Structure 1
Amino acid sequence: MDFDSLKKDIIEYSKQIGIDKIGFTTANSFSTMKNRLIRQEMLGFQSGFEESDIEKRTEPSLIFNEPKSIIAIALAYPSRMKDAPQSKRGERRGIFCRASWGTDYHVVLRDRLAKLEEYIQSRIPNARCESMVDTGELVDRAVAERAGIGWSGKNCSVITPEFGSYVYLGEMITNLPFEPDEPMEDQCGTCNKCVDVCPTGALVQGGQLDAQRCIAFLTQTKGFLADEYRIKIGNRIYGCDTCQTVCPENKGKDFHFHEEMEPDPEIAKPLLKPLLSISNREFKEKYGYISGSWRGKKPIQRNAIIALAHYKDDTAVEDLIKVMNEDVRPVIRGTAAWALGKIGGRQAEEALIQLKQRETDEDVLKEIEKGLELILP
């Protein structure tokens, strides 16, 4: 089999099915990434969402029998929203990060990878392929970097010359010996903007992220957020784009190649108050198709409450009082109590005093005290 010729055909076919960039690399171990992950684990910088076995994350042979090469793909996603609704008094809005605009990227990339697998197996029936997107064992960024898709930026994203870092990544391990592409040289240079402006200091240094401090991670947690992070989140209800939007390599980059990735403005930038009372069924029907829904409605609701506090939206006081009095979840009740304190006013104060007299959950009582201290310092 002429694998050089097949590689060229795969590259051409990838364009036909909507893959914006493709690269090939060996199936050797990712030793540099392995050392980095060990260091991250020692420092306690892991999020807990990733595969826990570092060996599996860096040794393709542990997850695929006799691998010969890995194919990496990238799809560009939009960075600007058309007809974005405005946030105004009484109609304050939150924002989902760009990576959660449109259809869940896991679905989109798996579709492209499945088509690529079918094509390869139509050419070589005994070809074995195993694809993965984000939730697989391998580190997407490490594969993409070694396959020449882009370089690993100081913001811990793969940055491509064509599309900046606004790309989704996926990969496919194969038993076919394709010629590897050349990795791309780092082009961040002395630029340190992403590190300097990270809201929580999660970018410890260029290329090193403390996920426990990252807003993108924090918005996906389900418990109470520490006070220091509540004041940093702003109106973000899922994810954070700051380290991408300040990157000079992303300036002017905005691509609308894939219909599935186009955001519905009312979903990507939703009204906050309706989120406080949305049912599980309504949440799944309205938001279930986006990646930002994967943790369920609880983190989104908690973040929406924090966003209302950020805006000091006094039109939300009654909604927050209702949540504080009626919601069965302590995290939601307690966050609402804190938010009422941030917004302030006589009505909020009276509601906090009344709830304090009958609340039994210790965590919620602490939040009520915080709220009252904010109103009556």
Structure 2
Amino acid sequence: MHTDPLKQEIIAYSKQIGIDKIGFASADVFTELKERLRRQQELDYQSGFEKGSIEERTEPTRLLPEAKSIISIALAYPTRMKGAPRSTKEERRGLFARASWGVDYHVVMRERLEKLAAFIQERVPDGKNKVMVDTGELSDRAVAERAGIGFSGKNTSIITPEFGSFVYLGELITNVPFTPDEPVDDSCGSCTKCIDACPTGAIVQGGQLNAKRCIAFLTQTKDFLPDEFRSKIGNRVYGCDTCQMVCPKNLKVDFHIHPEFEPEHEVAKPKLIPMLKLSNREFKQTFGHISGSWRGKKPIQRNSLIALGHYKDTTAVADIIEVMKSDPRPVIRGTAAWSLGKIGTKEAFQAIKEAMLEEEDEQVLVEMEKGLAFEPLKDTD
């Protein structure tokens, strides 16, 4: 079956439906990736969010037994927020990473891929197609690399010649055989800017990430954040863009192609104090449509408390005291106590001491002790 004319039709159609880049790859086993994943597992560098076994993540035929090809697509997203609200002393703001601006990309990407699958099905009625976006087992990056979408940079992101690394990736496994595209040459060269700039040293070496130290991962965890990372997350409430922002390939990269990915100011850069008391319903209403909401409100609220401590925001003290005293979740009460100590007003220290008399949770008491160990703010009333 000669499918190259069909390949050209698919490429033309992909442009019509708003796909920024498309590439074709074989469905062969990803042997190099398999080795790399085994090594990551041995070193305990995995985040725990990975889906499927190493075999499922590297052998396309386990997901579609008749697989012959994989079609990889990329959608570019913006890196700059037009008219972004400023974080002021009176109104401190947090920040969602750029990959969480606008509508959840899984939804947008799936819709594009399903249109593509339907287009192929029409032309190849006995075709079998399986759509995957991030939550699937296959490694989006390994597929994109093989399909010539871009090369895998030292920061472990796929870097495209046109859009830098600010692209969402998704793929479609099919039983239709296509001529594969050529991979893109790696052009990181001797540059180590991402490795040097990583706030937590999570990029162990070019192309190797210890996910457990990565801020993007840490901001999504639900437990107490380990002490060594609290000063590093700053005002990030979800995700981290440092290794992408310092990359020379991303200089001047800022694409506003898809209206769905445009950030809403109060969602992408939210005021921190109101975050502390959001009900589940309010959180869903405001943040439910973005990808950064997938872990629920708890990590975002914990990170907001850390950010307020980072800012030493004295205007937040009364609200944080209330959270420390009344929130039913130990992680939130404990982080609130830590944050109060970091802010360091007399009122904050007094509140921690009083709350300790009522508190029964061991971990929360440990956090309260940490809070009391901070230096008090000078000249506080």
Please say whether Structure 1 and Structure 2 have the same fold, judged by a TM-score greater than 0.5: yes
CA distance in 2, matches of 1:52, 1:4: 33
Q: Name 1:56's counterpart in structure 2.
A: 56
Residue 296 of structure 2 aligns to which amino acid in structure 1?
G
Superposition map of 1:57-136 within 5 A? 57-136=57-136
For structure 2, the 5+ residue unaligned runs are none
CA distance in 2, matches of 1:2, 1:37: 35
After superposition, give the CA deviation of every residue in 1:123-180 in whole Å (9 maximum; x if it has no partner): 1111110010101010000000000000000000000000000000000000001000
Contact 1:349 1:375 in 2 (8 A): no
Residue 137 of structure 2 aligns to which amino acid in structure 1?
E
Q: Name 1:310's counterpart in structure 2.
A: 310
Residue 58 of structure 1 aligns to which amino acid in structure 2?
T
Contact 1:90 1:316 in 2 (8 A): no
- Off by >6 Å, runs of 4+ in structure 1: none
**By how many angstroms is 1:376 displaced?**
6.0
**By how many angstroms is 1:345 displaced?**
1.2
Q: Name 2:204's counterpart in structure 1.
A: 204
CA distance in 2, matches of 1:210, 1:323: 33
CA distance in 1, matches of 2:5, 2:159: 28
Superposition map of 1:109-188 within 5 A? 109-188=109-188
State TM-score, norm by structure 2: 0.98
CA distance in 2, matches of 1:144, 1:376: 51
SS at match of 1:277: coil
**By how many angstroms is 1:66 displaced?**
1.7
Contact 2:70 2:172 in 1 (8 A): yes
Contact 1:110 1:133 in 2 (8 A): yes
CA distance in 1, matches of 2:52, 2:37: 10
Residue 79 of structure 1 aligns to which amino acid in structure 2?
T
SS at match of 2:283: helix
CA distance in 2, matches of 1:245, 1:149: 20
**By how many angstroms is 1:183 displaced?**
0.8
Residue 304 of structure 1 aligns to which amino acid in structure 2?
S
**By how many angstroms is 1:375 displaced?**
3.7
SS at match of 1:22: strand
Measured on the aligned residues, the alpha-carbon RMSD in Å equals 0.9
Q: Name 1:229's counterpart in structure 2.
A: 229
Q: Name 1:259's counterpart in structure 2.
A: 259
**By how many angstroms is 1:93 displaced?**
0.1
CA distance in 2, matches of 1:42, 1:51: 17
Identical pairs, percent: 66
State TM-score, norm by structure 1: 0.99
**By how many angstroms is 1:51 displaced?**
1.6
CA distance in 1, matches of 2:149, 2:376: 55
CA distance in 2, matches of 1:128, 1:257: 31
Q: Name 1:367's counterpart in structure 2.
A: 367
Contact 1:93 1:269 in 2 (8 A): yes
Contact 1:152 1:159 in 2 (8 A): yes
CA distance in 1, matches of 2:35, 2:15: 35
Contact 1:67 1:175 in 2 (8 A): yes
CA distance in 2, matches of 1:84, 1:305: 22
Q: Name 1:17's counterpart in structure 2.
A: 17
SS at match of 1:374: coil
Residue 214 of structure 1 aligns to which amino acid in structure 2?
C
For structure 1, the 5+ residue unaligned runs are none
**By how many angstroms is 1:374 displaced?**
0.6
